[in-house]
Amino acid sequence: MAAERLGELPDPDKAVDLADYIGLLERLRVWAGDPSFRELAKRVGPFLAPTQQVSKSTIADMFQPGRRRLNQDLVVAVVRALGLDEDAVGRWRAACVRVHVQVKTGGPVGVFGQLPAELATFTGRRAELARLITAATGEGNGDDDGNGIGAKTVVISAIEGMAGVGKTQLAVHAAHELVRAGHFADAQLHVNLRGFDPDLAPADPSTVLEAFLRQLGVPAQQIPASLDERAVMYRDQLRSRNALVLLDNAANEEQVRDLIPAGAGCLVLITSRRSLAGLDGATPQLLDTFTDPEALDLLGRIAGRDRVAAEPEAAARIIDYCDRLPLALALTAARLRSRPAWSLAQLADRMRTSRLETLRAGGRAIRPVFDLSYRDLTEPLRRVFRLIGQHPGPDFTPAMVAALAQIPVPAAEEALEQLLDEHLVRQSTPGRYELHDLLRAYALETAADTPESGEGPAALERLVQWFLRSAYRAAKTMNAPVLPELTEGGDTTALGFDSYAAALAWLDAEHANLIAVHGAAAAAQLYEPTWQLPVILAHFRNLRFHRINSVDAHAVAAEAARARGDGTVLAWNLLGAGTALANMSRYEEQEDMFTEALGLYREAGDGRGAGWALLELGRLHNTRNRPAEAVTVLEQSISSNGGDPRHVMICQVNLGVAYYELGDVPAAYDYTQLALTGAREYGDRRAECILLSNVADLNLHLDRADRAHDVYAEQLRVAEQIGDLEQHGRGLAGLGNALKALGRLDEARASWQAAHAVLTEIGSPRAEHVQELIRSSEAEADSPAT
């Protein structure tokens, strides 16, 4: 050691910070003959009051770089044990007090020539690590300088992400990997810039530069006073060195701008929970949460692999409750490790009811980490953040946030972009934003602790109304056959649609949100949206074969109506639920629903409603191969409904089916053609699509294969235009039947295969029938000619 060779006694007055003081204490130990920690522990005991035994680990720990504080009595005893007189002991005591005061007041920062220690629990991040190392070690990253050598510049990688995502661990691990491989051997500088420290102000760049320069060997008296001059000297010192600079927890671009060296052989790794997009030359490395395998691996590393493997379902629940956030997983696993009597299932149950409270271990917890990000927001931005916690769906748009917060859409978009820069929301699709589950819980809890005007239930109701009215306008644009009476007043921010395609695309994009919003409306006992939304969405869900969603939503609405004694609404949703059960072979449930709805409509004197209930019963009779009963009920339905042309058209469709089953194909064809004419007059494209398929089927039965082929082709065009996936599959299957009848078996098989793919994708029971057609055609092709 240098101090030993020169025989110099270290001077504690030269310590500028706690890290420096610890380094001088280590030099003092060397100066005193380099006693082992075990030997020094034996010497120290008698110098303590009262006299006591001191462990080797206690002594070793106080010499570790990176400590936040030292035990002053222990330091004084160590100094005495190393042979210093009382005057020298007094100076070491005073210096110890001084550097601890600086820590409390945010004084000089700790800058270390060596990298922070790697954690044994580091896991995953293979792709991210590979990107960082490739960026650091790749060939020239600039233009050729004319001598055949790439003109290199300093490599800057800014590792960004939400609080707790593991930015520092990744940066430290990458730095160690690079140094172990022989890169950046001249110098490694590291500083915690305290951009998000709960107690201390962000580190002053000028102070950091002073510490860096001292670490690089510049005598204190030669370090200039101004920030600019220090930055120039710092860049000059690193100009020809291969150095790695790790700037951890940066507050913003300004804090790190002067800490970037200019040397082409340097690498700068920056971590921040705030976007550093304004930093010239920096390549952002956005860090997301863990994958499921990475999360499971971390849980097992800390809590014990055997223990995790013994309860795979509970482990999966814990991972879901942590939403794969590395810090949350590490805290949860550490808590499990400290409580060997707990099962994973017990902890998972605790997390289900109080997630944020459960995410802690020892003195560490997740909530204070989120507090640091929230603390630096402006109050308007805090309000938006709290409000988006009210959104129950998987993602959101500026228009939704505008409805929540009662602000213009451009203001909502600007707020979301700022929250994105703060990594408090994330974005996977342009124009759509997501909130991490733990941040959603934090936003909700913070909102509960911050009662403000316009938040809470009122905000949720605004959002529900926005979705309700936007969905209503979409359904109306698509000419949905049945819609509730919904006035166009109220929230004027609801969306409008200028075409069928635009309305359908919006409903497709927002279906998951609509499901979540309906559930939230029911939970909040918002009665009108609870029963209206399933009715509004019924037509769309039929088109897209989202029938289970439709059944579930109508059931929730029916339950709410039954609790209120609202017979009309109950009947409407029983009818909707029963209709959505079509093709699910749940015939008894359907019949019970239709029969109850019919009784409610008759009790209320609602002939139109009774007509629709009779119509659905007629359809069900057809499905259950009871055509005679179907004809009787359908004729009653026409007379009950008062001549509604659309209702008559649907009855004619089903009368055509019934007469076909009765063996009267010409009558079936006539009824179906009448219905097709009515559908076209009424402008019901979905009914037109279904009826074209029916007409084509009947042409096949009447041995008119050419005509059937043309009608199926027309039906496919309509199905594609309206986006009806089931009818598209049905049309492809029918076209295959027509092609077979025309003797074009290879083309028929290709059409059936396409139909099977569509029907399988949506889960239609028709897929199995089409599969049988394919098998039969293949068997026919393989059989020897007779």
**What pLDDT does 491 receive?**
54
Report the pLDDT averaged over residues 245-266. Answer: 90
Q: Find where tokens 């320069």 sit.
A: 213
Pairing relationship of beta strands 187-192 and 243-248 according to DSSP bridges? parallel
- Compute the distance between CA of residue 646 and CA of residue 666 in angstroms, rounded to an integer: 23
CA distance 492 to 336: 51
Cα 96 to Cα 75: distance, rounded to the nearest angstrom: 8
Q: Is the bond preceding 398 in cis, omega lying within 30 degrees of 0?
A: no
Q: Which contiguous run of DSSP H or E holds residue 159?
A: strand 155-160
Q: Quick check: 489 pLDDT over 60? A: no
CA distances from 769 to 133, 376, 730, 759 (A): 55, 61, 11, 10
For residues 484 and 566, the answer to whether their CB atoms sit within 8 Å is no
Confidence of residue 3 (pLDDT cuts 50, 70, 90): very low
The model's confidence at residue 103, banded by pLDDT at 50, 70 and 90, is low
Cα atoms in the 13 Å half-sphere on the side-chain side of 447: 25
Strand, coil or helix: what is 268? Answer: strand
- Domain boundary assignment for the chain: 2-105, 126-141+150-286, 292-369, 377-454, 585-674, 684-782
pLDDT for 6 equals: 40
Closest CA to 439 of 489, 369, 505: 369
pLDDT at position 543 is 84
What is the DSSP secondary structure assignment for residue 691, as one 8-state letter?
H
DSSP-based helix, strand, coil % in the chain, nearest 5:
65, 5, 30
pLDDT at residue 422 greater than cutoff 60:
yes
Domain 585-674 identical in fold to domain 684-782: yes
Q: In CATH, which superfamily holds the domain spanning 585-674?
A: Tetratricopeptide repeat domain (1.25.40.10)
- What pLDDT is attached to residue 516? 94
What pLDDT is recorded for position 151?
36
Lowest mean pLDDT among 20-24, 229-233, 429-433: 20-24
Mind giving me the DSSP string for 419-473?
HHHTTSSEEEETTEEE--HHHHHHHHHHHHHS--TT-THHHHHHHHHHHHHHHHH
76 and 89 in contact (C-beta within 8 Å)? yes
Average pLDDT, the chain: 86
HEC profile for 309-364? Answer: HHCHHHHHHHHHHHCCCHHHHHHHHHHHHHCCCCCHHHHHHHHHHCHHHHCEECCE
**Poorest-pLDDT segment among 247-256, 639-648, 700-709:** 639-648
Secondary structure class of 192 (helix, strand, coil): strand
Please tell me the predicted confidence (pLDDT) of residue 233.
93
Please tell me the pTM assigned to this model: 0.69
Provide the token pair at 270.
């920056």
Where does 684-782 sit in CATH, by number? 1.25.40.10
Give the model's pLDDT for residue 452: 62
DSSP character for 265? T
Average pLDDT (18-22) is 81
Residues 6 or more apart whose Cβ sits within 8 Å of residue 6: none
pLDDT confidence tier of residue 667, bands split at 50, 70 and 90: very high
pLDDT tens digit sequence for 595-630: 999 999 999 988 888 999 999 999 999 999 999 999
Q: How confident is the model at residue 49 (pLDDT cuts 50, 70, 90)?
A: confident
Q: Which residues pair with 282 in a beta bridge?
A: 156
Span of 14-18, 63-67, 546-550 with lowest mean pLDDT:
63-67
What fold does the segment set 126-141+150-286 form as a domain?
Rossmann fold (3.40.50)
pLDDT of residue 149: 31
| Percent of the chain surpassing pLDDT 70 | 92
Alpha-carbon span 602 to 604, nearest angstrom: 5
| pLDDT tens digits along 493-520 | 789 999 999 999 999 999 999 999 999 9
pLDDT digits (tens, 9 = 90+) for 313-366: 999 999 999 988 888 898 888 888 888 889 999 999 988 887 787 787 766 778
Give me the CATH code for the 377-454 domain, please.
Answer: 1.10.10.10
Least confident of 32-46, 58-72, 552-566: 58-72
